[in-house]
A = this chain, B = another copy of it.
Amino acid sequence: MDRPVTALDVAQKAGVSRSAVSRVFTPGASVSKRTAEKVRCAADALGYRPNVLARSLITGRSRIIGLVVAYLENQFYPEAIERLSRHLQERGYHVLVFMASNSGEEADEVMEELLDYQVDGIIAASVGMSNDLTRRCEAAGIPIVLFNRAQDDDRLSSVTSDNYHGGRKLAEFLVAGGHKRVAHIAGWEGASTQRDREAGFVAGLAAAGQTLAARGVSDFDFERAKTIAREMFSSDTYPDAVFCANDHMAFAVMDVLRFELGLRVPDDVSVVGYDDVTLAAWPSYDLTTVRQPAGQMARATVDILMDRLADPETKPRRVALDGPLILRRSARIPEGWTT
């Protein structure tokens, strides 16, 4: 009864051919002012808007970007997604969400679906990708950008912060603060971010002749981070500082230290994290951390994607943005320390 209005309806009403209508809605096509006027008028009257899906069938571009993401619990991701989505929206693209667990096979399944939708590009946030999959996307001409993860394969674009240097800065800061028993709570060891942060951190310690006093692996899980903190800090010679691989886990650890073990932060233990999510700045945590410049990272991700879409020959880029150390009060500040 109320069939959607198509270009043909508009054409008839405006008394022109259907392709004239098409050209009016294609920027850069040559149309006389008069026709454009007539068409636009008829279109408005009928409430016509071109069908993006039909268009994408012929142009081969859907203006859809697939976003693969594993979980939104860590505040860093919603913040990033909001930015990514807004940037893409400004350029006429939209984000199609695919939730994936971290398990490898499910990632594959998700990838297949992604391709079914003919997405123009893929942003993989915090998800590992099998090389095989990557290759298939490249073969299909679909650019991929890893967000907050890098991979050895340098045919893959990625955007991260400079995790190695970030980790190193934290180590230098803790060492300068006179800490002697420095621990690390790792996230998921399969993640490049984890490896780089830890590598930088350990290197920083090593430069001062120190090594990790303790180490636990939480897979970025909040509850597991708590369990590890309980064990790590129940011995008499507990660490005097701990670097948590992201802010999210640092909060968990601070909660355990303060509310379960009755330790003072930073007097008894200094805690540092990584990300600088919004919550890190709130006075309840006031977390010393390395900022991942989410805004710049989102911008860079979108730029890479757009460049690749404009010219498929564009070389893949691997961006590692510098992130500043944000001094707050969850960790002792060395005297006379200047950023």
Contacts and interface: CB of A to CB of B under 8 A. Distances in A.
A95 B113 CA distance: 13
Contacts of A67: 97
Give the interface residue-count category, chain A.
35 or more
Contacts of A52: 116-118
A115 B57 CA distance: 17
Number of copies of this protein chain within its complex: 2
A82 B72 contact: yes
Interface in A26-78: 47, 49-54, 56-57, 62, 64, 67, 71-73, 75, 77-78
Contacts of A62: 53
A57 B81 CA distance: 29
A78 B89 contact: no
Contacts of A317: none
Interface in A77-98: 77-79, 81-82, 85-86, 89, 94-98
A310 interface: no
Given A79-B72, A85-B99, A285-B284, A49 B94 contact: no
11 contacts: A49-B112, A49-B115, A71-B82, A72-B81, A73-B79, A75-B78, A82-B99, A85-B99, A86-B99, A94-B113, A97-B97
